[in-house]
Amino acid sequence: MLHALRGDAVEHLRPPRPIHFPEFELVAEGKRHLTLRTFLYQLLLHKLGAGHSVGSDQFVYWNARDPKRKLAPDVFVCLDVPNESFGSWKTWERRVPELGIEIVSPSEDAGDDWEDKLGRYHELGIRELVRFDPEAEVGARLRIWDRIDHDLVERRVAADATTCLTLGLTWVVREVDGEPVGLRLTDEAGGLVLNALESANARIRELEAELAKRPR
């Protein structure tokens, strides 16, 4: 019985027709966009640890039959899936990410292009979608959509700050690596969530302060 279920005992009526899912596409990226995207990726990677997956600018596929159905979020998070190296993210192999983040660049069209992208995120099944526009007016830089009853509904956001439901933290707009306007997170106490470098520097300052208090 067990032998009959082995792959080498199964016959198929035709050979498979492989479907190619590309892993990259050459697209120009401005320096500010690179800075904001990389910072947020490293921040979430450090905060969430190895037990959760964080991606940045990799293709996410959700239709195993159609490679054209894809997105490349600036940053995305899939909880409880161990973080490992991957060229692209296929939801039928790894699951649908809960959180997607898009950072608007000057070359993007805020109209039809975004509506198409929003429709793709809806089709993907994303739970929480963040759109950050560093060039928008104060109070309009942060937009978020939540999945409710299978619909993707935009949330009311005030003062460029709102809860990240996926992570239990708060989105805020702050300076990032020399850029005056960037996307960050704060914890329950209102403190900034730090990336690995910031955490190391903070620890160094603590140790220096402790040494300074010791009698000479």
CATH placement of domain 20-213: 3.90.1570
Number of alpha carbons in the 13 Å side-chain half-sphere of residue 76: 26
Q: Please state whether beta strands 89-90 and 60-61 pair in parallel, antiparallel, or not at all (unpaired).
A: parallel
Do 76 and 62 contact (CB within 8 A), yes or no? no
Query: For the chain, which residues make up each domain, given as ranges?
Result: 20-213
String of DSSP letters for 60-77: EE--TT-TTSEE--SEEE
Tokens linked to 102: 């898009």
pTM of the model: 0.86
> What are the φ/ψ torsions at residue 14 (nearest 5 degrees)?
-155, 160
Q: Strand 162-164's sheet: what is its strand order? A: 162-164, 169-176, 179-186
Quickly tell me which residue has 């955490």 as its tokens.
199
Task: Going residue by residue through the chain, which has 216 residues, state the pLDDT in tens, using 9 for 90 and above.
Answer: 344 455 568 898 889 888 998 887 767 789 999 999 999 999 999 999 999 999 999 999 999 999 999 999 999 999 999 999 999 999 999 999 999 999 998 766 556 699 999 999 999 999 999 999 999 999 999 999 999 999 999 999 999 999 999 999 999 999 999 999 999 999 999 999 999 998 898 788 877 777 777 777
